[in-house]
Amino acid sequence: MTAPAETILEVRDLVKHFPLTQGILVKRQIGAIKAVDGVSFDLHRGETLGVVGESGCGKSTLAKLLMALERPTSGSVKINGREIANARGGELKRMRRNIQMVMQDPYTSLNPRMTVGDIVGEPFEIHTDVVPKGGRRRKVQELLEVVGLNPDHINRYPHQFSGGQRQRIGIARGLALQPEIIICDEPVSALDVSIQAQVMNLLERLQTEFNLAYIFIAHDLSVVRHISDRVAVMYLGKIVEIGRDSEIYERPTHPYTQALLSAVPVPNPEGRETRERIILQGDPPSPANPPSGCHFRTRCWKAQAICAEQEPLLQIRSGSDHPSACHFAEALDVVNAQ
Amino acid sequence: MSDPTVAQDLIHGGDEPTGAVTVTSTGRPRSLWRDTWDILRHRKIFWVSLVMLIAFLLMAAFPSLFTHKDPNYATLAHSMEPPSSDALFGYDLQGRDVFARTIYGARASIIVGVAATLLTVLLGGITGVLAAFYARWLDAIISRVGEIFLGVPYVLGGIIILGTIAPAQTSPNEFTIMAVVILVLAILGWPILMRIARSAVIQAKHQDYVQAARALGAGPFRIIFKHLLPNSLAPILVYSTITIGSYIGAEATFSLLGIGLRPPVISWGIAIADHTRYIRTGAHAMFFPAAFLSLCVLTFVMLGEAVRDALDPKLR
């Protein structure tokens, strides 16, 4: 996937603010949680974009915005050139066929009172013109087979399956409408490591089979590297660095990315003591009241006066071969550093 | 940088080795309702209350199975005669057979209890689901209106409404008075069910599977009936079973106060009301209807408890 294929998802200046209100009878807005604060990126056909960042940085809100489960405060999300962020009714329903989701927790993402057949078949009940009524059961069994489940288990209930099997059911449901984009919101973080590998391999196989584009949200950096073509690093609602996985992992230029990468455990015991670890001080600031200028400056060892005055834009800079939102962007190989 | 270890590649169409699949001996898949039934049928309290329930339902449907006497046939000469081999439970003030009247009394009590509960579930369920699903101003209005109704004490509310529509001196026909009592019980009781339904639906609404259904493009109708209702039915079911019992008790309270059911309806409440003054000279005329009333209330409460234990083992 070297040549950039056609862009199927285009996100521009996406903003989601959750209002903070006070008062019992008359609600007064006293502020806003800036969950997603100006995010832009493109996604190409058949490509995987990994999104990493710590808890509360707006990854899941971003997923919900892309799925049109939340309405953005401003900005646009275009799928194949058509705006989904303000689509309604029948138009929105049609657009949903192109973008589906695999959820984080396989224990809550399947309705416990429905059989597997009903769960995987629900997309066909909603979009009645995809598969004629008589062929739906057959189609559901095909989907179960595609994700590596026994098609004879169609009448079973979710609680009779293990976590990994449940996640496969969730993936089958996401595949049913043959979407072009699948948003995976931490699809493996609730699973055991060995099952994680199986589900990741399944996702990779399905990608080549159906030419899917993934947005792969996770906080596990090694998982993201394994599956992603490009990686975006988020901090406090903004993308601070975006690039091909080799660029991000081998030549990170944003101090936050460098700090994240230096925290990844290295399996090789040799040189572990000499490896430089960047330890960040303090907690991330509140997204209701982010610092001026660069959001990361309060925890950054490079911060200077300009960082508080001027917000660094996400662009290619002199010290960086890929877009980075740091005034002092400079490549530093933290992973292989001696 | 470590790649995740590839434990094993997928065998296409194969099963996962860690599969925790449970199958019943018959090979049929087990739904959560089936699990509930399995717990239920191992509980003694369930079978006891079920047998009693069937007995009461038979009494209500076919009273002539239990007695061949006419409950309205009065011989004043027998007034307040104690139990004997001739009349198992004795005779009441008017010289009517207490056993026959107690058997025939089951019908009115159970009809009122069940119908009022159904109406309560309907009223409270619909308002609760709407309040939870649409939230915002609709929730605020429904919740506040519910609180107004909850603020009225049960008996006081009953006295006010029944005393206005059907004052104690009037004698409306059988159907009208039962309908009015059912309505009053439901009107005073719906907010509790509304709250139960509302909280259950709010809980279900934030589950991921509802988000997933929305992401698929499911409309509100499908989300409510396929996802929210089946997952919030358990607490509603438990509460309504117990409510039947308490409504039967409430109906008797209204009858005792002279504002509920009244002759020609035969009910346990009326029988108790008619004979409270004679408790020292002829306790039997009041004791037997009161005992049946208590047993019937107990039956529904026990059944409700058993169902709750089975549906939600955490509450045990």
In this predicted complex, what is the ipTM?
0.83
The more confident residue out of B176 and B30 is B176
Lowest mean pLDDT among A322-331, B85-94, B233-242: B85-94
Q: Has residue A337 got a pLDDT over 60? A: no
Residues B41-71 as b/e (b if ≥16 CB within 10 A, e otherwise) read: eeeeebeebbebbeebeebbeebeebbebeb
Lowest mean pLDDT among A333-337, B239-243, B270-274: A333-337
The more confident residue out of A27 and B131 is B131
Model pTM? 0.78
Task: Tell me which amino acid residue A335 is.
Answer: V
Domain extents for chain B? 46-65+86-315
For residue B23, list chain A residues with Cβ-Cβ distance below 8 A: 160
Q: Has residue B6 got a pLDDT over 80? A: no
Nearest-Cα residue of chain B relative to residue A220: B4
CB contact under 8 A, A156 and B14: no
Backbone angles phi, psi at B61, to 5 degrees: -80, -45
For residue B234, list chain A residues with Cβ-Cβ distance below 8 A: none
Task: Tell me which amino acid residue B245 is.
Answer: G
Q: How far is B316 from chain A (nearest CA, A)?
A: 21
Backbone angles phi, psi at B91, to 5 degrees: -120, 155
Rounded to whole angstroms, the Cα distance separating A102 from A172 reads 9
Residues A200-210 as b/e (b if ≥16 CB within 10 A, e otherwise) read: bbbbebbbeee
The predicted pLDDT at position A271 comes to 67
Count Cα atoms within 13 angstroms, Cβ side, for B58. 10
- Number of Cβ within 10 Å of residue A224's Cβ equals 23
User: Which residue among B7, B20, B23 sits closest to A197, beta carbon to beta carbon?
Assistant: B7
Task: Tell me which amino acid residue A115 is.
Answer: T
Q: Has residue A167 got a pLDDT over 80? A: yes
Mutate which: A64, A88, A92, A113, vs B, most B CBs within 10 A: A113
Rounded to whole angstroms, the Cα distance separating B256 from B215 reads 56
Average pLDDT on A7-22 reads 88
**A101 in B contact zone (CB under 8 Å):** yes
**B213 in A contact zone (CB under 8 Å):** yes
CB contact under 8 A, B227 and A111: yes
User: How many residue pairs from chains A and B have C-beta atoms closer than 8 A?
Assistant: 140
Q: What percent of chain A has pLDDT over 90?
A: 12
Using one digit for the tens of pLDDT, what is the confidence trace for B192-246?
999 999 999 998 888 889 989 988 888 889 999 888 988 888 888 888 888 888 8
For residue A249, list chain B residues with Cβ-Cβ distance below 8 A: 1
B46-65+86-315, what's its fold? Answer: MetI-like fold (1.10.3720)
The predicted pLDDT at position B124 comes to 93
